[in-house]
Amino acid sequence: MIKKVREKSIRLLTMEAGGRRVDKNHPVYAQIERELGRQTAGYKGECALDYYLTFIPDDKYFIFHGLRLEDPKNRYFQMDSYLFSLSHGLILESKYISGELEFDEKSNQLIRKVADGHESMGDPISQVERHKDQMRSWMEKYLGKVVPIIGQVVLTNKNAILKNVSPSTMKKVTFLTNLPIRIKAIHENLPNPILTEKELRKATRILNQKHTPDQFAFLDFFKLTHNEIITGVICAECSLSPMLRKSAKWICLKCGCKSKNAHIEALEDYALLCGKSITNKQAKEFLHLSSSSVTFQILQSMNLRHTGTKKGRVYFLN
């Protein structure tokens, strides 16, 4: 049973917005494009888990996707998927990597063969081991019980090939197509309940309450200023910016596309790239509006939380 659905991360959403609102000729655009590609591939791999998790009976696990928690030592950790039962927790770490892969147990590296040699990919097994320790500590803090935590690295790219793999590594790594079988085996090896049904439901509520979405300071990361962000409402059909506001509609002067609420995505981009608060003046300039009163009407129609009055009013973009 899914208790937290899969969503795009704040970082991926921010990179998508950056791809729309940084000029393709800008010196950092290639870097933005690479990071966007990396985040998109990661999300694709995570989504690939979802189909195979449908083969698990609903009464076996509560499933949380993209859960990000703070451990008792104030360190945040995020799990691609976390499966929670009466007897144990199971962390799944998706890796959407193609090519010939080798897990080097001596150096704790994942190595991929490339045309001119080898490329180190870090070590997802070590990452899962850290997350297991953090999750055990989290459970002990909030439930007062020691719950067994298992971890699995899941290779989600069908073009991944493992080389020189040891039996110990294969206990920690599985291919996506084998995931339901691996989960069934783990469940059968841990049949004795640690938690009661009431404690499991309580833990589920706390897990969702304690989830903390990540934040990503786009401008600082790429050393950009507000002036380097493309402003205006972007046409969803042809990507022209800015669209023109006329008679309570947004009109694209290139393809003729019309929209009543195209400003919403524009302000979502603003929130991701520039900040979560905005004034009437800032919104007017960003949306290329000719009137403060029209800007006020748009912001009011969105039912945004706000503070202050008149020119000092600040709206908070969720």
Same domain, 39 and 168: yes
Same domain, 266 and 125: no
Q: What is the pLDDT of residue 16?
A: 97
Domain count for the chain: 2
How far is it, in rounded angstroms, from Cα 4 to Cα 64?
Answer: 5
- 220: in domain: no
Looking at 210, 242, 270, the residue that finishes a domain is 210
Looking at 150, 180, 210, the residue that finishes a domain is 210
Give the domain CATH number at 310: 1.10.10
What does pTM read for this prediction? 0.90
- 221: in domain: no
Same domain, 65 and 204: yes
Quick one: how many helices (H) and strands (E) in the chain?
10, 16
How far is it, in rounded angstroms, from Cα 197 to Cα 175?
Answer: 32
- 191: in domain: yes
- 219: in domain: no
Q: What is the pLDDT of residue 309?
A: 87
Name residues whose C-beta falls within 8 Å of residue 128's C-beta, 6 or more positions apart in sequence: 91, 93, 151, 152, 153, 172
Same domain, 20 and 88: yes
Same domain, 194 and 247: no
Same domain, 42 and 186: yes
Looking at 149, 177, 210, the residue that finishes a domain is 210
- 224: in domain: no
Same domain, 141 and 188: yes
- 217: in domain: no
- 222: in domain: no
Length of the chain: 318
- Which structural domain range is residue 109 located in? 2-210
Other residues' Cβ atoms within 10 Å of the Cβ of residue 181: 12
Alpha helices for 110-224 (secondary structure H): 124-143, 167-170, 179-189, 197-210, 218-221
Task: Please report, in tens digits, the pLDDT of each residue of the chain (318 residues total).
Answer: 999 999 999 999 999 999 999 999 999 999 999 999 999 999 999 999 999 999 998 888 999 999 999 999 999 999 999 999 999 999 999 999 999 999 988 888 898 987 777 888 889 999 999 999 999 999 999 989 999 999 999 999 999 999 988 899 999 999 999 999 999 999 999 999 999 999 999 999 999 999 999 989 999 999 999 999 999 999 999 999 999 999 999 999 999 999 999 999 999 999 999 999 999 999 999 999 999 999 999 999 999 999 998 888 999 998
Same domain, 135 and 245: no
Which run of H or of E encompasses 173? strand 173-175
- 274: in domain: yes
Same domain, 145 and 249: no
